[in-house]
Structure 1
Amino acid sequence: MCSHPSTCPPAAADDRVLAVPVSRRPEQGWTLLCNGVVVFDDDGELLPDGAVVLTRPWSLASAGG
């Protein structure tokens, strides 16, 4: 899939976000990498097979009172 000198990590690899960006849309908050992964500014990822990866642990704030 890559046409640049070094091959990018595959979408299933742990280092997949080190692939070369092929399209950036900062106004929309995402970057498409050459391995097909979409990286979002909020640290989420969308893999080519449609799987969602949340790299930041999210938790709901308690409604303390």
Structure 2
Amino acid sequence: MCQHRPECPSAESADREAAVPVARHPEQGWSLLCNGVLLFEDTGELLPDGRVIAPHRSRLIAA
């Protein structure tokens, strides 16, 4: 359970990536957020219930 104030967004929230990182391993390309989400450097996510969120980097469109 989150001990931060204000409380971090849940893993089910659309803004789940705003949760506080509690472990960072940039050499391995991932961070563990307070809400239990594993956030990967390619913007993919692994949710606590095992669901996978595909990478979702915004793409720049050349004019």
1:35 aligned residue: 35
Q: TM-score, normalised by structure 1?
A: 0.82
Percent identity for Structure 1 against Structure 2: 60
Give me the whole-angstrom Cα distance separating, in 2, the residues matched to 1:56 and 1:38.
Answer: 14
Q: Runs of 4 or more off by more than 4 Å in structure 1?
A: none
TM-score by length of 2: 0.84
Letter in 2 for 1:16: R
AA of the residue aligned to 1:25 = H
Greater radius of gyration (CA): 1
1:24 alignment partner in structure 2: 24
Report how many residues are paired.
57
Question: Where does the alignment leave 5 or more consecutive residues of structure 2 unmatched?
Answer: 58-63
Give unmatched runs, 5+ long, in structure 1. 58-65
Alignment RMSD (CA, Å): 1.2
How many Å separate the matches in 1 of 2:53 and 2:42? 11
